[in-house]
Chain A
Amino acid sequence: MNGPNVTEEPVRLEGFGPKDLYQRREKIFTRFVGGFFQRLRFFTGWPLLTGYFLLPWINWGERQAVLFDLPAREFHIFTLTFFPQDFWLLGWLLMIAAFGLFTVTTVVGRLWCGYTCPQTVWTAIFMWAEQVAEGPRHARIRLEQAPWSFEKLRKRAAKHSMWIGFAALTGVTFVGYFTPIRELVPDLTVFEASGWAVFWSLFFTGATYTNAGWMREQVCIYMCPYARFQSAMFDKDTLIVSYDASRGEPRGSRKRSADAAADNLGDCIDCQLCVQVCPVGIDIRDGLQYECIGCAHCIDACDQVMDKMDYPRGLVRYTTEHELSGGKTHWFRGRAVGYAVVLLVLMTAFTVAIFSRKPFEVDVIRERGELFQVNTADQVVNPYSLKVLNKTQGPQRYTIEVVSDLPLTVERSDQLAASLASLAAEVLDLPLILSAPREAVALPTVPVTVRLCEVDSGHCDEEQTTFFGPVQ
């Protein structure tokens, strides 16, 4: 490609002095807008919010239904209890989340960002509180520019109280996923909660207050990695919020009664409403920009203006690059189908893995001190440590079976059988001694399978180990 020769004409940005390379943040005052997509956002945001706040209060049996008990290393999700041994499942879950985002982004763009991301949902709540305390956009701009007065102090105090209150609810609820919330909340109100619970409640309160109150679009623009890497998933058939320049240009203000065609004007009346409602402070008419979170505020704003002007809706609309350039959108394309197939496979595997999870886990650890013993009865003896992890919330009893090519005997098997019973979430640790007549042990190492079956459910788990004998 033949580009301009940069060595002759160094890149100079107009008006940028040495210090101007630091971009100043321009405070964004968003204008409230209703409309179809904002109602849609309402119905996606509220269930998520209520779910977040109510979930820790639900009980299941005698304990909190969703509780991540870090000190005990037990993670309860309704009927299921997970242990650190199940950590690999989290890996699957994260892969599912990743491919879920890939699939959704490829097909419908930044749906996650605009409708469901906690940053967006919480920011929406905080903006609503701002509007309640300080009034609509023009009033807020005036308030910002006004000198400090009692009135300004009162409005600001009201806003920040609401913010901190909602942030505190959020923070305490978050901690309530990790420490029983029905104890945490009363303890906090009488100042008897543990130091760490208080610390983390304050931490997440502060984080929510800062993120949703002060940082807002800065998080999406500068901090969020997903916001950046999802542009890699976009193609010409991805759903984007876009201004139809061919229809809108040349833009210009006009009277409602004016004949746009006669004045050589497009449909855009340049009312700036789409800019004023934008929570990330961009002008959608400048084309697709990485700041755009796909929240559709500008669509709703523009549709209302189009209605007033008696123009057809959709000057700013959900569309694709192909459609904008006069082509058709291909919904079923390799990339989208590929992501969806991977996602489906992952989800199926995950579901199978969750529901075929063994209710207990067996581990057999060889004696570390010596390989084997030969006792006075001329038997080869191998000692092991037998560990059984009960992964359920009730007691279990097991039967043991040792499978091997050797005629192995379980020493003191009556005592072992009597001890093979565990309580909920308990780790049994029992001695296991296997022996075989010396003349039968022809090889120095023989594989052994120790198989435990739970008496009530019939579930079995087995562990491979080795029986060592003398070299003949």
Chain B
Amino acid sequence: MSSGWSWFIIIGTMGSLIGAAVFLLMNRHTSGEETTGHEYDGIQELDNPLPMWWVGMFLLTIIYAVGYLVWYPGLGNIKGTADWTSLDQWQDEVDRHEARFAPIYTKLAAMSPDELAADRVAQQVGRRLYLNNCSTCHGVAAQGGLGFPNLTDDDWIWGEGFDAIKTAIVGGRNAIMPPWGAALGDEGVANVTQYTLSLAGQEHNADMAAAGEAQYNTLCVACHGAQGEGNPLLGAPNLNNNIWLYGGSPEQIAFTIRHGRNGNMPAFADILGDEKAHILAGYVKSLSQQ
């Protein structure tokens, strides 16, 4: 806050406090006999003093306000003797809750993936962590969506198992598929699309797929593999099943080939810490175990 605004607030606050006090004390003694001059329908308003208890309460609030302004930051840039900030208070509350739940997290973080899957508390804590941190993208039922992997099936783009899941949560993932539209041309994109459909065992145009195979073997094979089996090290999806991260219609596949895709899962290490990531990984793994 600039010192100009600071002074504006200080003068405004102190001015109204002092003004209220002076006005109050000025009005404490009145005649009790004279009228205020207000008269309606023959009814006059007597100029009576304020009730004593009311004056007392008002003075108390003024004294309270002075104490408040000394203790808390209320006057522009003056910080107050208590050195209080809302950030510190928030941090205090966070610390208090961390301390309260720390033993639970520590206990659960020592469990094996199988134990986590079988433990009721671990499941509930995991579910809450999931809803707070993951459900925005992966959905409330972990069903995923266009561009966000389904966590309830058996298809794991970055490799299956507890450790791979935990690594993904802690460090995040970055998958880049380059755009091939310029290299392939319109016809090439259409042909590779048909070949991709054939790899997944879907309905396709055999001639176009045959034409696309050569191009696949030049451009796509490095990441997606000779048989389209994918590569978990690169996050290149398996093309042999009917699970599509960016949609499985010919149009959607063609779009992906033409423009490329950029998948990004953020790292949650700083937000969750290792213990919560462990519990969360156990929960996510249990989702696909049925």
Residues of A within 8 A of B (CB): 5-7, 10-12, 16-22, 365, 367-370, 373, 376, 381, 383-385, 412, 414-415, 429-433
B42 touches A431 (CB 8 A): no
Question: Across the interface, do B140 and A383 meet the contact criterion of CB distance under 8 Å?
Answer: yes
Closest Cβ of chain B to A157, distance in Å, is 29
Selected from B42, B44, B52, B137, the residue in CB contact (under 8 A) with A22 is B52
B290 touches A412 (CB 8 A): yes
Bound complex: CA of A376 vs CA of B202, how far in Å? Answer: 10
**Selected contact of A20 from candidates B32, B128, B142, B143, CB within 8 Å:** B32
Question: Is the Cβ of A369 less than 8 Å from the Cβ of B137?
Answer: yes
- Assess whether A18 is in contact with B244, with CB atoms less than 8 Å apart: no
Within 8 Å of chain A (Cβ to Cβ): is B264? no
Interface residue tally on B, bucketed by range: 35 or more
Give the distance to chain A from B3, nearest Cβ to Cβ, in Å: 40
Q: Give the complex CA separation of A317 and B135 in angstroms.
A: 73
Interface positions of B from 187 to 216, Cβ below 8 Å from A: none
Give the interface SS of chain B, mostly helix, strand, loop or mixed: loop
Please indicate the chain A residues that have their CB under 8 angstroms from the CB of B83 in the complex. Answer: none
Of the residues B35, B52, B143, contact of A383 by C-beta under 8 Å: B143
Residue from B32, B42, B136 within 8 A of A18 (CB atoms):
B32
The 7 closest A-B pairs by CB, nearest first: A431-B141, A383-B141, A18-B32, A415-B290, A385-B140, A376-B242, A433-B141
A284 to chain B, nearest CB (A): 28
Instruction: Give which listed residue, A370, A376, A383, contacts B248 with CB less than 8 A.
Output: A376
In the complex, the answer to whether B127 meets A429 with C-beta atoms within 8 Å is: yes
Residue B145 lies at the interface, judged by CB distance under 8 Å to chain A: yes
Question: Is B88 an interface residue, CB under 8 A from the partner?
Answer: no
Interface string of B119-146 (1 = CB under 8 A from A): 0000010011001000111011111011
With a cutoff of 8 Å between Cβ atoms, the chain A residues found around residue B290 in the complex are 412, 414-415
Residue B25 at the A interface, CB < 8 A? Answer: no
Residues of B within 8 A of A376 (CB): 242-244, 248
Cα A430 to Cα B283 in complex, Å, equals 12
**Minimal beta-carbon separation of A182 from chain B (angstroms):** 24
Candidate in B44, B139, B141, B242 with the most chain A CB atoms within 10 angstroms:
B141
In the complex the two chains form, what is the Cα distance from A19 to B31 in whole Å?
A: 8
Asked if B51 is an interface residue, CB under 8 A from chain A, the answer is yes
- Select from chain A the residue with minimum beta-carbon distance to B51: A22
Residues of B within 8 A of A18 (CB): 29-33, 49
